[in-house]
Amino acid sequence: MSNQISEKTSMHILPPLPYADNALDPVISANTISFHYGKHHKAYVDNLNKLVVGTELVGLSLEKIITATAGKAEKAAIFNNAAQAWNHAFYWNSLIPNGGGEPPAALKKKIEASFVTVDACKKELATAATTQFGSGWAWLVLDGDKLRVVKTSNADSPLTKGAKPLLTIDVWEHAYYLDYQNRRADYVNSVIDKLINWSFAVDNLR
C-alpha cells in the first residue's frame, strides 16, 4: 500500500475508496460507508495532520509514525490516529465487491500449510473477529513463514509486533452497527463469504 502523503504539503491524505460507496451493498450499505469512510476514516487523517504539526513526525509515512509512537504514552493520540488511518486504508482494500470464495492457488497453498484447510482459516478469522472484546480488528498476517490470525484492540496493529498484515476486518461498532446493530457475527460472516479480497492478501505476500 502506498504512502498517502501530499508531496506539496507533507499532509496525510484520505486515500480514495477503491470502489463506489454502494459497491459493497447489501453486505455493507452505502450509508455505513458514508459514515465509516467519509466521517470516521477522514477524522483520523484530519486529526493526525493537526497532531503532528510542530513535531519531528511531520512528513513521515504512516508506517514510520506508527512504529515511532507505539507504546509511548505521551504519543498515544498520534499513534491512535496514525494507526487508525493506516488500518482503515488497509481495511477498504481487504474488501472487494464479489469477493470471498476460493483464494488464488499460491495463497491457498500457504493457507493450507498453516491452517490445514481454507475453511479452518476462515473460521479462525471469524472467531477472532467475533470474540475481540470491544473495539478492534481481526487480521490475517504473515508471521515468519507462517500465516496466523490475530486480533488487536482499538487502534493496535500487527505492524508493531513484527507481523506483516495480509487482510483485516474492522470490528469497531461503527463498521456494522447501522446495518447489523448488535449482530457482529452476521457482519463478520457476510464479509468473509462475500467481500474478502484474497487477491489483496496475495499482493501483500510479496
The three cell numbers of residue 205 are: 505476500
The three cell numbers of residue 93 are: 482494500
Stretch that binds Fe ion, among 10-18, 42-50, 112-120, 175-183 (CB under 5 A): 175-183
**Interface mask toward Fe ion for 113-152; x: CB under 5 A:** ----------------------------------------
Using alpha carbons, select from 45, 35, 80 the residue that is nearest to residue 175: 35
Whole-number minimum distance, CB 149 to Fe ion, in Å? 19
Cite the beta strand spans of 120-187 per DSSP E.
136-143, 146-153, 164-170
Taking 3-state DSSP, the helix, strand and coil percentages for the chain, each rounded to the nearest 5, stand at 50, 15, 35
Q: Which of residues 115, 137, 139, 172 is near Fe ion by CB under 5 A?
A: 172
Count residues near Fe ion (CB under 5 A): 3
- Give the residue with the Cβ less far from Fe ion, 115 or 137: 137
What residues have CB less than 8 Å from 145, skipping those under 6 apart? none
Q: Which of residues 33, 65, 121, 170 is near Fe ion by CB under 5 A?
A: 170
- Give the residue with the Cβ less far from Fe ion, 172 or 200: 172
